[in-house]
């Protein structure tokens, strides 16, 4: 059967979404100190109650020193979910996103060696192995076994908080060079204990976190609570090979066999990308080894209705990042048959309409920013503007 963007999709545990558009987790750097939700955060997510049928809130770090990993705005951080005090702000996000009947999830994560903010401000950056990462300007410490177990418990606690905050699910962040991927990588994980070495050992942390998250979900969540896993298909940087697509396909197959994941989310800049020398995309390779009831989400370069529809040739759901940053009614317009009305270029006026937090405007108005928004030349003049500009007319 041909998939359509307006199809209702039912996940394996019963949750339904009206449409195949997903807003993927994207950092806003709008949080207050220690990752608490700010008014800028709420404004941004309130504007996106109709951006997609399923919105996955940006990564929230699960434990002290587990983030932030990127802070490009003064006095702003990534969001956290590491204490019960964070539940109130997160619940406001969940309520805002679900106001029009769509589903809201939150991504949970530990940044590992990428926790550059604490590392530069009196904290620590922990990794499976304390090797020399030449691209980092701060020291990395090897995480102890006791600390590993603390992080595993923290993922369970974060899941409980997500449930209490009213989210419809959690996504475990196993991609983008954060702690999950660092344990899986043969390059960054050079341990000789039970947490490193063989495939079995390098996936032990992943399995332990999965076990804890699903334990909490079974005990405390509604029956239709959604659990997803995000993965980067390869880690190859010149001579440094962390893992290949064969390795990640094996992991995806094991995740599908051992756990009741509702979906696997393939993290890449191009939804149609293929491994070198292969005829199938990463998503197509994963589809071959996953149970039918596990949905696949692709992301990367899906900026309009035509590309979103094409993405369904490779997966079940199309995640639209930059498109929903520019037009917070991207999904609504598709569901109403108005895909031609989607705004595809950013502008100073659209910055205000889309309620982009000041930190995102600072980022995307930087001419040196490699990940570009269409029309970005029109907002170069906003770079470094006082943040009150962005709130004008809110």
- The residues pairing with 142 across neighbouring beta strands, listed in sequence order, are 127
Q: Half-sphere exposure (CA, 13 Å, Cβ side) for 97?
A: 30
How far is 62 from 64, CA to CA, in rounded Å?
7
How far is 119 from 133, CA to CA, in rounded Å?
14
- Where does residue 72 fall: left (phi above 0), alpha (psi -120 to 50 degrees), or beta otherwise? alpha
Could you tell me which of 336, 342, 328 has the C-alpha nearest to residue 51?
328
Q: Active-site residue 178, yes or no?
A: yes
CA distance readout (Å), 327 to 195, 230, 356: 43, 24, 10
Q: What is the DSSP letter of 227?
A: E
Instruction: Provide the token pair at 220.
Output: 């405390």
Among residues 178, 263, 314, 390, the one annotated as catalytic is 178
Could you tell me which of 252, 287, 268, 299 has the C-alpha nearest to residue 22?
299
Query: Which residue carries 């756990």 as its tokens?
Result: 259
Residues 6+ apart with CB under 8 A from 20: 3, 4, 5, 6, 7, 9, 53, 308, 312, 316, 317, 318
Helix and strand element counts for the chain (H, E): 15, 15
| Residues carrying an active site annotation | 178
């Amino acid at each position: 059967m041909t998939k359509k963007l307006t199809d209702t999709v039912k996940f394996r545990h019963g949750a339904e979404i009206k449409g195949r558009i997903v807003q993927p987790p994207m950092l806003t750097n709008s949080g207050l100190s220690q990752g608490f939700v700010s008014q800028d955060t709420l404004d941004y997510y309130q504007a996106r109650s109709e951006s997609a049928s399923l919105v996955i809130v940006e990564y929230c770090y699960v434990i002290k020193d587990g983030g932030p990993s990127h802070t490009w705005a003064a006095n702003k951080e990534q969001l956290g979910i590491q204490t019960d005090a964070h539940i109130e702000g997160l619940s406001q996000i969940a309520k805002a996103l679900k106001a029009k009947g769509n589903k809201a999830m939150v991504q949970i994560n530990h940044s590992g060696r990428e926790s550059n903010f604490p590392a530069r401000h009196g904290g620590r950056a922990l990794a499976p192995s304390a090797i020399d990462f030449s691209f980092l300007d701060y020291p990395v410490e090897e995480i102890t076994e006791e600390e590993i177990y603390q992080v595993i418990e923290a993922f369970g606690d974060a899941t409980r908080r997500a449930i209490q905050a009213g989210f419809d699910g959690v996504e475990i962040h196993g991609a983008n060079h954060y702690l999950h991927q660092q344990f899986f990588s043969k390059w960054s994980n050079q341990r000789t204990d039970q947490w490193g070495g063989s495939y079995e050992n390098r996936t032990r942390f992943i399995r332990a976190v999965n076990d804890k998250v699903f334990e909490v979900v079974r005990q405390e969540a509604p029956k239709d609570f959604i659990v997803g896993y995000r993965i980067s298909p390869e880690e190859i940087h010149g001579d440094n090979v962390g893992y290949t697509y064969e390795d990640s396909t094996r992991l995806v197959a094991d995740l599908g066999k051992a756990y009741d994941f509702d979906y696997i989310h393939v993290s890449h800049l191009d939804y149609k990308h293929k491994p070198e020398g292969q005829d199938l995309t990463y998503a197509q390779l994963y589809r071959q080894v996953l149970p039918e009831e596990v949905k696949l989400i692709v992301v990367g370069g899906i900026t309009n209705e035509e590309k979103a529809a094409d993405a369904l040739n490779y997966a079940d759901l199309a995640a639209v990042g930059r498109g929903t940053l520019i037009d917070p009614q991207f999904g609504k317009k598709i569901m109403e048959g108005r895909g031609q009305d989607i705004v595809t270029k950013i502008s100073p006026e659209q910055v205000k309409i889309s309620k982009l937090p000041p930190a995102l405007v600072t980022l995307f108005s930087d001419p040196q920013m490699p990940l570009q928004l269409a029309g970005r030349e029109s907002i170069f003049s906003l770079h470094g503007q006082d943040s009150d500009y962005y709130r004008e007319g809110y």
